[in-house]
Amino acid sequence: MSAPDDLRVELRKLKRPVLIARCAQLRDRPAQDIEHRMTVRALRSTAQRIQALQAEAKELEGEMLLLVREVAPELLDLLGVGPITATQILVSWSHPGRFRSEAAFASFAGVSPIPASSGLTNRHRLNRSGDRQLNRALHTISLIRMRLDPTTKAYVAHRVAEGKTSRDAQRCLKRAICRQLFKILEHSDRETGTNSENLVQAA
């Protein structure tokens, strides 16, 4: 969007949260030319819409947090798992017994290895099938752990030292995370006495 020079100079130096708050408070005045007034109105409307969506997202995230705490609070103890990723994991998993094994859950999540060997090279490729939203949640968790967790960093470094690419090492990590999640999910309902269908219906 084009804007008058003075307005552009004022807003350009602001960080995003401050920029949104400032634009939401902009006022157009009769003394300003039509281009300036229309620009101010567009910026104000967009910023106020962003604020409304942020408030709605925060409220929904709070509701997700309550649901996850009721169904599988252990998930929130895991590094990299927040209300949004935990909700997606629970919705994709659905209920105990849906998957006959941890390997079946991993295949559904798209993190089971697919052989891609050739000649003397023994390797696997990424699985592009399965539940992509669940796969994205696992990807988010893996990125956070690779950045913040010393144990995960050592695990990835070890896999790379074995000759795996960084992408293959992350695939192995996502597979390990999937295994960890499955163990928690298959026991959470029995231990808490809650019904995971409540969360699926709410989602």
Distance of alpha carbon 145 from alpha carbon 142, whole angstroms = 5
Instruction: Kindly give, in sequence order, each residue whose CB lies less than 8 Å from that of residue 27, ignoring residues fewer than 6 positions away.
Output: 40, 44
Is residue 118 classed as helix, strand or coil in its secondary structure? strand
Q: Does 184 score more than 50 pLDDT? A: yes
pTM (2 decimals)?
Answer: 0.78
Distance of alpha carbon 74 from alpha carbon 188, whole angstroms = 8
CA nearest to 138, candidates 94, 88, 192: 88
Each residue's pLDDT tens digit, 17-65: 999 999 999 998 887 888 888 999 999 999 999 999 999 999 999 999 9
Distances (CA, A) of 181 to 41, 79, 80, 107: 48, 12, 12, 14
